[in-house]
Structure 1
Amino acid sequence: MPERAATRSDASNVTERGRRAFAVLLGEFRRTPVLVPLGDGPGPDTERGLLTADFNGVRFILAFSDEQALARYAVARGEGAREWRYQTVLGARLLDAAVPAVGVPCGVALDCADGADGMVFPPVRGVVPDAVAVDVDGGARGLA
């Protein structure tokens, strides 16, 4: 039995370390200006003028840490030769204002062309306002 208790304790410690590491990354993202490409107009890949992507029923605003990360995304999309318009937005403003304005469950994907080096900020408690968090009773209310 002590071995089983130790395994549970170890798993709990790993989970807690992961939560703390995510909280640090989230805090850094909230304080950092990021580049948000502007969509070409109404369509499935734009939300209020911002470039978005849908994944498993959740919309994500695409954000990039710098022009090189945006360029990697453009090349991966096969659109590296075109001009990409973007605006610089503070991460906190994306999470606190842009996400709730979308009207459907929405998060932010940072540097999505960078694989494991990218980051996803999902629409959950502690990341987005509770009123639009999908894991809060009453959250995401009024969303289509």
Structure 2
Amino acid sequence: MRGGTGHPGRLLGEFRRTALLVPLSTDDDGGLMSGWQGGVRWIYAFTDEEALARFADARGAGAESREWEYLSILGARLVDAVIPTVDGPTGVAVDVADEDGSMLFPPVVGIVPDACAVDAGPDVAEAV
């Protein structure tokens, strides 16, 4: 769903079935590259190498810089297996350097596991 139109279920389904490119962090602690906004950690993910390259360029790390290592992972595995291992609210930011094509998948029920969702009721937290 973009701009209030579309089918959010279809978009989420495509996201879960898509192989995404997730750059590895250059920090000493390693892991996946991410950023913080509004109290949420956003894992950066890209739909292809060109989108990742645009992101690198926007960060001032274009072609003349080093190559970025990345992981190829299904969207479903990213939200179902990786996000539960991260401390704090975590979502996925897809193609963030593309003004008209970027998408955010926030840490809410229906996108991430209920135990990781910021809008899950208290019964979910007790069940974990």
Alignment TM class, shorter chain as reference: 0.7 to 0.9
Whole-angstrom CA distance in 1 between matches of 2:124 and 2:52: 29
The separation in 2 between residues aligned to 1:72 and 1:138, in whole angstroms, is 41
Aligned: 1:60 with 2:48 = no
The answer for the alignment partner of 1:11 in structure 2 is none
For 2:7 and 2:23, the matched residues in 1 are separated by 27
Quote how far apart the aligned CAs of 1:130 are.
Answer: 0.4
Give the deviation of 1:139 after TM superposition. Answer: 7.9
Mapped to 1, the partners of 2:102 and 2:56 lie a distance apart of 15
Deviation of 1:42 after TM superposition, in Å, equals 3.5
Q: Deviations over 1:94-136 (max 9, x none)?
A: 0111111101100000001102311000000000000010001
Provide TM-score, normalisation by structure 1: 0.77
Task: Provide the aligned C-alpha RMSD in A.
Answer: 2.2
Aligned-partner residue type, residue 110 of structure 1:
V
Question: Following TM superposition, by how much is the alpha carbon of 1:20 offset from its aligned partner in structure 2, in angstroms?
Answer: 6.1
Instruction: Give 1 or 2: higher helix fraction.
Output: 1
- Determine the structure 1 residue equivalent to 2:110: 126
Give ranges in structure 1 of 5+ residues lacking alignment. 1-14
The total of aligned residue pairs comes to 122
* Partner Cα separation in structure 2 for residue 138 and residue 114 of structure 1: 37
1:140–1:82 CA distance, 2 compared to 1 (3 A): farther
Segments of 5+ residues of structure 2 without an aligned counterpart are: none
Structure 1 residues 139, 54: CA separation in 2 closer, same or farther (over 3 Å shift)? farther
**Amino acid across the alignment from 1:36:** V
Q: Could you tell me which residue of structure 2 aligns to residue 37 of structure 1?
A: 23
Paired-residue identity, %: 54
In the TM superposition, residue 22 of structure 1 has moved relative to its aligned partner by 1.6
Which letter maps to 1:99?
A: I
The structure number with the bigger radius of gyration is 1
How far apart are 1:140 and its partner, in Å? 8.7
In structure 2, what is the equivalent of residue 87 of structure 1? 71
- Which structure has more RCO (C-alpha within 8 Å, separation ≥ 6)? 2
